[in-house]
Structures are given as structure tokens and as C-alpha cells.
Structure 1
Amino acid sequence: MTKPVTGVLFDVDGTLVDSVYLHAVAWWHAFRQFGHDVETARIHRAIGMGSDKILDHLLGPDHDTAEDDALRAAHSSLYAVHWTALRPLAGARALLYTCAARGLRNVLATSASRPELEALLRCLDADSVISTVTSADDASESKPAPDIVEVALRRSGLSAEEVVFVGDSIWDVKAAGALSIPCIGLTTGGVSIAELLDHGAAAVYEDPQDLLDNLDEALTTAFRVALTTG
């Protein structure tokens, strides 16, 4: 029997913080440093995967992996330049505080590395209303594998039947769907409403503010989806 929604799992990059395109540019420069000409549009569509997946996805599973660690380090260094400029997306902080005020537990489940996550947390400045935080360092595989979501559930003490996931990429939708968790999509990562819905999002909103303005509707829709699929 499906339980009422008592927790919200949030992706962070592109969902709560405006960082997707900074990641895309950082990866583009990193690839160029190592002689790979990868179109920014392809990189953008892969953002949301962890660094353990993105290189195979963009360079092919048969690429020479000898430079993978150096490539990832280059991306991290290039992205770190922008950490002080990171900003929460419209309504992100208010959404977290409102969810907490309603008795919902806010859980962050992100493919960001721990150092990146710390920068994102400083940007959000909402530690008092975040109950559980996980990063790529806590899981053996990143999104679209559900590992990080499983870790988030285990650490928070919540079950898949009582949570919704909020994310901005198809990788978020896939990771949540692997555990039959309804996913609310946001278009803040540059993915269209149609594509998020096509990959299984229960509902899609423009940004955290739009979700906040329609929170009752969103949770009702997610709960209805959970009842249908549970």
C-alpha cells in the first residue's frame, strides 16, 4: 500500500542551483585540452550523469580510458572557477523551506562530487531545512543508475513509496523510475517539457518557484502516479 508523501528527494545541479551550462562549458574546455572535439549541445544533454558515466557516453565505451582521471580533474578545476558565482534558481530556497514547514523531509540526492556539493550547499544556504545529503562519492554508480537514490533513501530512513523526486534531466527521471519513485521535472536544465514527460516524469514545472506555486497540485499528481504504478 502506497504511503502518503513524507519526503522530497532533490537533485541539485540544474534543479536548485543554476549550474548546468557552467558544467557544459567546463566539460567542453576539458575535452578540448585533451584533443577531443565534442559539441556543446551533446555535452549539455549528458549533464546530470555522474563523471563515471559521462565520458563513456560522450567519447564512446571503447575510448582510451588512460586519460579519464585527468579529464575529470580538468573539468572539476574549470568548474571550480565559477563556484563563487553560483546562484540558487528562482524559488529554490523558498521551496525547501516550505516543504520543511509542511513536515516534508528534504533530501539531496546528487551526482555532484563532495567538493562540488559543498559549494552548492553554500550557494543554497538552507542547511537547517535539509535533513539528508548524499553525493556521487556515496554511490558505486551515478545517475541514471539508481544507486544514489537508494543511498538517499537508506540514510534518510524513507521508503520509495513515500517520496517524490524533483530533477531537471532525463537521467533524474530514469534514476527515480528505476525505483518506481514518481519524478517531478523542472525545465531549468534546458530539457523540454515534452522530453521529460516522454521519459516518465509525473509532471513538469518551469522552475522551483513554479513548483512552489503549484506544490499541492504537484504532490497530488505524484501521489496519484505512485498509486497507479505502486
Structure 2
Amino acid sequence: MTVPEPDTADAPGAVLFDVDGTLMDTVYLHTVAWWEAFRQNGHSVTMARIHRCIGMGGDHLLDELLGEDRDEEESAAAKAAHDALYAQYWTRLVPLPGARDLLRACAERGWRVVLASSASGPEADVMVRALDADDAIAAVTTAEDVSASKPSPDIVHQALERAGVPAERAVFVGDAVWDVEAAGRAKVPCLALLTGGWCRDELAGAGAKAVYESPADLLRHLGESLLDRPPGDTA
């Protein structure tokens, strides 16, 4: 996907947020849902291996865990099982501590806040409602808006387009190595959180500009971070 070159003179700054694991406490729910989905379809895959793939798109996850020569019908059945199992949690999904206030603090500082979710449209809608921060969110992208999933940069490019900003006026916030890699390929600096279960060295080694414990931790250090104020804002 090619991002149009906007007029950068008056372009706002945008902060692009991954949602699963970054704003919502969902990583291990996805892990359990995939584990059970694989089991139901005759595949024994450990949760440790599954967890390391959460944050990839489902196609990449299936390639990694079942092999690129996997049976497409079995893969489709596993994906459908995961979606059905995970949907059972929808009414209980909760934001990570500080997530809602972080979004609002970024908006108050002049950032255009865009959610760059790799979830399907209905699943993303559930998480946006749970976040309850519509007043701070300028736009939302979902898996249905792109043709290639993370670690491809397509979701980042789409979020930039929705925000109407070039890469140099944006910051991405994510929780997995796949987020950092996708942002890097889009030439957007990335801040990483430990809430996805990756360690600090792994995230920094992938290229994260800084690593924070959680949304609440990033909020506490907002004034010392890349999110203190949008690029070019000297107010």
C-alpha cells in the first residue's frame, strides 16, 4: 500500500495505537482461544509457541504454527474455531489500566489519535466500545481495511492515511515485536509496552524507541516521551 504524500506544512501529528495487548488486556485470551481451536482440529500446539505469534495477522500465525504447507480447510476451521471461542469473551473485555486516560491525554496535547487494530470489524467495534474514549479517537482501522497483516506495514500505512499525516509526523504504540517491525517498515517510530508479554530487550532489539511497562506507565512519563507534543507543536 502506498501512502499519499500529504501537504506536511500544516499536517497535525498522529499517534497510532495498536489495540489488542496495547490498550486492551486480550493477549492471553487470544492465546487460550487459539490453543483450544488447534486442539479441536487435531493439532497440539503449546501456549508458549502460540503466545509468541499473537500480534501477527492470522495468516502469518497459521503459517508459523502449522507450516506454510498447511491444509487450507483445516486452517480455515481452526480460524473459525478461534473466532467463535474468543467471541465468548467479548462481553468481558476490559481496557488495560490507564489506556483510556492515555488516549485522552494524547488528544489533549494535540495529537490525532488513530486506533490501528488488526482485529475484524465487529471485534474492533467491541474493543472501541469497551475503551469508551470516542471523544479522543479520530479514526479506527481494522483488518478489513488492508490486504496484508502485521508484520507487514499495511495497517500502519492505512492508519497514516486515515490520520492524514506523513510518517515523520506520527508515532506508533504497540506491545509486540510484530508491531515494532510493522512500524519500522512504515518508517514510523514505535513506543512499546510490556503488556503483550514480550521482554524489554526483545522490543528494544526490534527497534522500539522506548519501552514502558503499561499504558499507565507511559501516561506517567508522557512529558518525557515522544508523545509530549506533536512534531512542530511549540505551544
Shorter-normalised TM range: over 0.9
Q: 2:120 aligns with which of 94, 113, 116?
A: 113
Change (3 A) 1:125 1:221: closer
Q: 2:158 aligns with which of 151, 161, 170?
A: 151
Mapping 1:161-172, distance limit 5 Å: 161-172=168-179
SS state at 2:97 partner = coil
Q: 1:96 aligns with which of 90, 100, 103?
A: 103
Mapping 1:64-83, distance limit 5 Å: 64-83=71-90
Distance across 1 between alignment mates of 2:156 and 2:198:
21
Q: Which shows bigger deviation, 15-24 or 62-71?
A: 62-71
Q: Which shows bigger deviation, 3-12 or 188-197?
A: 3-12
Distance across 1 between alignment mates of 2:129 and 2:45:
31
Note the alpha carbon deviations across 1:151-207, whole angstroms, 9 max, x for none: 111122111010000000000000000011110000001101111001110000000
Q: Which runs of 5+ in 2 are unaligned?
A: 1-7
Change (3 A) 1:44 1:109: same
Query: Offset at 1:4?
Result: 9.3
1:151 counterpart letter in structure 2:
Q
Kept after mapping to 2: 8 A contact 1:100/1:129: yes
User: Does 1:217 pair with 2:206?
Assistant: no
What stretches of structure 1 move > 3 A for 4+ residues in a row?
1-5, 220-223
SS state at 1:100 partner = helix
Kept after mapping to 2: 8 A contact 1:10/1:107: yes
Q: Which shows bigger deviation, 127-136 or 213-222?
A: 213-222
In the alignment, what sits opposite 2:3?
A: none
Kept after mapping to 2: 8 A contact 1:143/1:172: yes
User: Does 1:202 pair with 2:214?
Assistant: no
Note the alpha carbon deviations across 1:47-97, whole angstroms, 9 max, x for none: 001112210111111111222222111101100101111111010000001
**RMSD across aligned C-alpha pairs, in angstroms?**
2.0
How many residue pairs match? The answer is 224
Kept after mapping to 2: 8 A contact 1:173/1:201: yes
**Between the two proteins, what is the percent identity of the paired residues?**
58
Distance across 2 between alignment mates of 1:154 and 1:81:
33
Q: Which runs of 5+ in 1 are unaligned?
A: none
User: Structure 1 or 2: larger helix share?
Assistant: 1
Mapping 1:36-55, distance limit 5 Å: 36-55=43-62
Query: Offset at 1:222?
Result: 11
Distance across 1 between alignment mates of 2:10 and 2:150:
25
Q: 2:144 aligns with which of 129, 137, 152?
A: 137
SS state at 1:37 partner = coil
1:64 counterpart letter in structure 2:
D
User: Does 1:12 pair with 2:19?
Assistant: yes
Query: Offset at 1:216?
Result: 2.1
2:83 counterpart letter in structure 1:
S
Note the alpha carbon deviations across 1:79-121, whole angstroms, 9 max, x for none: 0101111111010000001111111111111111111101111
Query: Offset at 1:3?
Result: 9.6
Q: TM-score scaled by structure 2?
A: 0.91
Q: TM-score scaled by structure 1?
A: 0.92
Distance across 1 between alignment mates of 2:112 and 2:227:
17
Q: Which shows bigger deviation, 22-31 or 5-14?
A: 5-14
SS state at 1:166 partner = strand
